Copies of this chain bind each other. A is one copy, B any other.
């Protein structure tokens, strides 16, 4: 990777490492963090000196705007270590671009590439020993920006903090996922912030998801809020439907996050000769396909789980289940994508970028 900030980052190394206290075979997702973090503050209209320092709590004023108005965005990405101990990122340019689109929508300053990409690069080098190899291990990367300016008046902050924290992750198997199609609650409005990775989009899903959990469903497939008929996406995943041998997924819109896994899978499926269609999929169509057995698979796609197969769905109080086909697209695509990400197969798309 060409962009580096080495000379400009102020680096304070941790005096001891926590790494020996970590059980890498029993990691719960997003719970353990590496020794260091990257931080850069925005004030007086400019990004200040970036720093890498020991991972630690930090202080904010009780009136900081992030607490009151939810002015906060994030990204989720992963790094992988290959057999030669080189570390690779997967399409980091896409996360960088999406982060800045989210920033614009949330009236926050854009983060320059040398801070986002350059800072991440240096941080990964400093905590390189934390990136495990093999067995679907990866380093989950969480860049985020929060409004730190003080004052309980509802307008954009003039101070922000951009941070990157790293959390080692194992291969993620969510078990047999059952979902419910949203008939009342929704995730995003037309003209709202659904396409941004804005903090506020997520907490709004917690309560309806809790209700679904109580009924034995792990996730909700969100629908458009006006008619609740179009299938959009799940908690932190885009969704794919296989009807006969065609793979369907909703077009991105103001309401839907433009997932990087989603677009990578579409490209990969095409290369594998799988027919794909990007168009609105209706709940009624899914029910019909489930009834006449043309619905073969449903799966979620996102950075954390890569692909999460969905076993069945509930709609209008009826539950429909599929039998996993022998030629599962979910399995094929997950295998293809993870081996590309882990540098076990050739990256013909040019999606992987070396940290150096």
Binding site for B on A (CB under 8 A): 28-31, 33, 37, 55, 57-63, 65-72, 74, 76, 104-107, 140, 142, 144, 146-147, 150-156, 163, 165, 167, 182, 184-193, 198-210, 225-226, 228, 235-236
**Complex Cα–Cα for A37 and B208 (A):** 33
What is the CB-to-nearest-CB distance from A196 to chain B, in angstroms, rounded to a whole number?
8
B153 adjacent to A206 (CB under 8 Å) = no
A186 adjacent to B182 (CB under 8 Å) = no
A188 adjacent to B191 (CB under 8 Å) = no
B37 adjacent to A200 (CB under 8 Å) = no
List chain B residues, Cβ under 8 A from A204: 70, 105-106, 192-193, 198, 200
B201 adjacent to A70 (CB under 8 Å) = yes
CB pairs A–B below 8 angstroms (25 shown): A33-B63, A37-B62, A57-B59, A59-B59, A66-B67, A68-B142, A69-B203, A70-B201, A71-B202, A71-B203, A76-B152, A142-B152, A152-B167, A154-B205, A156-B203, A185-B191, A186-B189, A187-B189, A187-B192, A188-B189, A190-B225, A191-B225, A193-B200, A225-B226, A226-B226
What is the CB-to-nearest-CB distance from A127 to chain B, in angstroms, rounded to a whole number?
14
List chain B residues, Cβ under 8 A from A186: 189-192
What is the CB-to-nearest-CB distance from A61 to chain B, in angstroms, rounded to a whole number?
5
Beta-carbon nearest neighbor of A55 in chain B: B62
List chain B residues, Cβ under 8 A from A184: 191
Partner of A206, one of B106, B185, B202, B235: B106
**Complex Cα–Cα for A146 and B60 (A):** 13
Known: A165-B63, A189-B192. Is A207-B105 also a contact (CB below 8 A)?
A: yes
What is the CB-to-nearest-CB distance from A112 to chain B, in angstroms, rounded to a whole number?
20
Known: A59-B59, A72-B68, A207-B105. Is A140-B154 also a contact (CB below 8 A)?
A: no
List chain B residues, Cβ under 8 A from A105: 204, 207
Partner of A154, one of B33, B62, B202: B202
**Complex Cα–Cα for A140 and B68 (A):** 14
Known: A55-B62, A107-B206. Is A225-B154 also a contact (CB below 8 A)?
A: no
What is the CB-to-nearest-CB distance from A103 to chain B, in angstroms, rounded to a whole number?
10
